[in-house]
C-alpha cells in the first residue's frame, strides 16, 4: 500500500474554495468572501440547534406571529437571532432584513458594503416532525454612501442586482449551496471536522424532468390552466413530490429535474411566496444552474420590488417544464 493511501485527501473546504475563487467574484475585495463565511458560521450553529431541538425544548410554537402573519416557531426565532448576530459581528453587512422581523436591522457596520436578506428558517411547519427545513439568503451591494446608515433603497432592489444568493438545507446531511454569478456549488457539512466540504461542483438542472411539486390541498383554487398542466403531468405518469419546505423541494428538483409550482389562489391572489426572501435568491440560483423561474408572466429576477415583504407566484425548475407552463 502506498503511504498516501493511508491518509486520503478529505476534500476542499468552503473557506479554501472561497479564497481560491475570490477573484471570480463580481467585487473581489474580500468583504463578500467574509460575508459568506459569516453565513456559514451561523449555519453551523443553527445546524447544531436544529439537531438538538428536541433535547433543548426549542420545538413548538413561540406564541407570536411574524410580519407575514404566520405563527412563529421557537426555532424560527433562534435561527433569526443566530444569523443576525453572526452578520452583525462579522462587520461586512451594513443591514439585514429578515422574514421574521418588521423592521430592517441596522447592524451598526456603516462601513459595510452589503445588505443581506434572509429567511432564517424556511419550512417551520416541518420542525416538530423532523422533516427537512432550510435557510435562504440573498446579498446585495448597498446603494447609499458607505459610512452612512443603510436606507430603504438599499433593500428595495430587483433580483437581477443580487451579487450572491444561496440556501442551507438541514436534512439527512446539512448542505450549503450558493452562487456568486459564476455557477452553483454545493458543500456538505462534516460534523466530525466542523467544516463544509465541496461535494457538488457546478450543479446543472436537468433540462427536463418527471417531478412536479405543488400543494395539492390548494389544487381547486389554482388557475384553470395550471390545473390543466398538472393533469398533463399526471397523464404522463410524472411523480408528485411535495415536502412543504421550499428549500427541500427546490433542492430535489434542481438535482433530479422537475418543476415547483406555487400559483396564485383565491386566498393569495398575488401569490404567497416572498420575492425578496424566497423567489429572488432561488431564481438567481436556478438560472445559474441552467433552469428557469417565472411568475407566469415575466422572469422572476426582472420583477420590480416595491416592498420587502412583497409576494409573488412562482414556477421554478427545469427549463423545458417551465417553458411548457409559460406556453399555457
pLDDT digits (tens, 9 = 90+) for 216-235: 999 999 999 999 999 999 99
Residue 217 lies inside a defined structural domain of this protein: yes
Same domain as 258, residue 175: no
Domain boundary among 147, 169, 200: 200
Same domain as 175, residue 38: yes
Is the pLDDT at 110 greater than 90? The verdict is yes
Residue 149 lies inside a defined structural domain of this protein: yes
Query: What per-residue confidence (pLDDT) applies to 63?
Result: 45
Query: What per-residue confidence (pLDDT) applies to 62?
Result: 45
Same domain as 55, residue 170: yes
Residue 9 lies inside a defined structural domain of this protein: no
Same domain as 196, residue 69: yes
Task: Give the separation between CA 304 and CA 163, rounded to whole angstroms.
Answer: 17
Domain boundary among 166, 200, 234: 200
Same domain as 123, residue 40: yes
Number of structural domains found in the chain: 2
**The CATH number of the domain where 300 resides is what?**
3.40.190.80
Query: What per-residue confidence (pLDDT) applies to 171?
Result: 87
Q: What number is the average pLDDT over the span 121-149? A: 90
Query: What per-residue confidence (pLDDT) applies to 57?
Result: 53
Band of pLDDT at residue 31, cut at 50, 70 and 90: confident
Tell which residue, 117, 120, 92, has the closest CA to residue 107: 92
| Cα-Cα-Cα-Cα dihedral sign, residues 316, 222, 134, 190 | negative
Query: What per-residue confidence (pLDDT) applies to 289?
Result: 98
Same domain as 319, residue 226: yes
Same domain as 237, residue 196: no
List of residues 6+ apart from 249 with CB closer than 8 A: 213, 241, 242, 243, 260
List of residues 6+ apart from 58 with CB closer than 8 A: 49, 74, 75, 78
Q: What number is the average pLDDT over the span 169-195? A: 95
Interior CA angle at 282 toward 40 and 251, to 5°?
75
Same domain as 59, residue 29: yes
Interior CA angle at 272 toward 176 and 288, to 5°?
35
Same domain as 183, residue 39: yes
Query: What per-residue confidence (pLDDT) applies to 26?
Result: 59
**The CATH number of the domain where 87 resides is what?**
3.30.540.10
Cβ distance 108 to 83 under 8 Å?
no
Same domain as 242, residue 99: no
| 131 or 106, which is more confident | 106
> What φ, ψ does residue 51 adopt, rounded to 5°?
-65, -25
Same domain as 179, residue 98: yes
List of residues 6+ apart from 290 with CB closer than 8 A: 204, 205, 207, 319
Domain that holds residue 295: 211-327
Task: Give the separation between CA 136 and CA 178, rounded to whole angstroms.
Answer: 10
Within a 13 Å sphere around the CA of 109, how many CA atoms are in the beta-carbon half?
Answer: 23
Band of pLDDT at residue 5, cut at 50, 70 and 90: low
Query: End-to-end CA distance of the chain, in Å?
Result: 61
Residue 205 lies inside a defined structural domain of this protein: no
Same domain as 44, residue 24: yes
Amino acid at each position: 500500500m502506498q503511504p498516501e493511501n493511508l491518509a486520503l485527501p478529505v476534500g476542499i473546504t468552503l473557506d479554501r474554495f472561497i479564497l481560491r475563487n475570490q477573484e471570480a467574484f463580481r467585487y473581489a475585495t474580500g468583504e463578500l468572501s467574509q460575508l459568506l463565511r459569516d453565513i456559514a458560521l451561523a449555519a453551523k450553529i443553527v445546524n447544531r440547534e436544529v439537531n438538538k431541538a428536541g433535547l433543548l425544548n426549542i420545538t413548538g410554537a413561540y406564541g407570536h406571529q411574524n410580519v407575514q402573519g404566520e405563527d412563529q416557531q421557537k426555532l424560527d426565532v433562534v435561527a433569526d437571532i443566530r444569523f443576525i448576530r453572526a452578520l452583525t459581528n462579522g462587520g461586512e453587512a451594513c443591514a439585514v432584513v429578515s422574514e421574521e422581523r418588521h423592521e430592517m436591522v441596522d447592524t451598526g457596520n456603516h462601513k459595510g458594503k452589503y445588505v443581506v436578506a434572509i429567511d432564517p428558517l424556511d419550512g417551520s411547519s416541518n420542525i416538530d416532525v423532523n422533516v427537512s427545513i432550510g435557510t435562504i439568503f440573498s446579498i446585495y451591494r448597498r446603494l447609499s454612501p458607505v459610512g452612512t446608515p443603510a436606507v430603504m433603497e438599499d433593500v428595495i432592489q430587483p433580483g437581477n442586482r443580487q451579487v450572491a444568493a444561496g440556501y442551507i438545507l438541514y436534512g439527512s446531511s446539512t448542505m450549503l449551496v450558493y452562487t456568486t454569478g459564476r455557477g452553483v456549488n454545493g458543500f456538505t457539512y462534516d460534523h466530525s471536522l466542523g467544516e463544509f466540504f465541496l461535494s457538488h461542483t457546478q450543479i446543472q438542472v436537468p433540462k427536463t424532468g418527471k417531478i412536479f411539486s405543488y400543494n395539492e390541498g390548494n389544487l381547486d383554487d389554482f388557475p384553470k390552466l395550471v390545473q390543466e398542466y398538472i393533469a398533463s403531468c399526471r397523464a404522463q405518469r410524472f411523480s408528485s413530490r411535495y415536502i412543504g419546505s421550499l428549500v427541500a423541494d427546490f433542492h430535489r428538483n434542481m438535482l433530479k429535474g422537475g418543476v415547483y409550482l406555487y400559483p396564485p389562489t383565491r386566498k393569495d391572489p398575488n401569490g404567497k411566496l416572498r420575492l425578496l426572501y424566497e423567489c429572488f435568491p432561488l431564481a438567481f440560483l436556478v438560472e445559474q444552474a441552467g433552469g428557469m423561474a417565472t411568475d407566469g408572466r415575466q422572469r422572476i429576477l426582472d420583477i420590480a420590488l416595491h416592498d420587502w415583504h412583497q409576494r409573488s407566484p412562482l414556477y421554478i425548475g427545469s427549463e423545458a417544464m417551465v417553458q411548457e407552463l409559460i406556453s399555457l
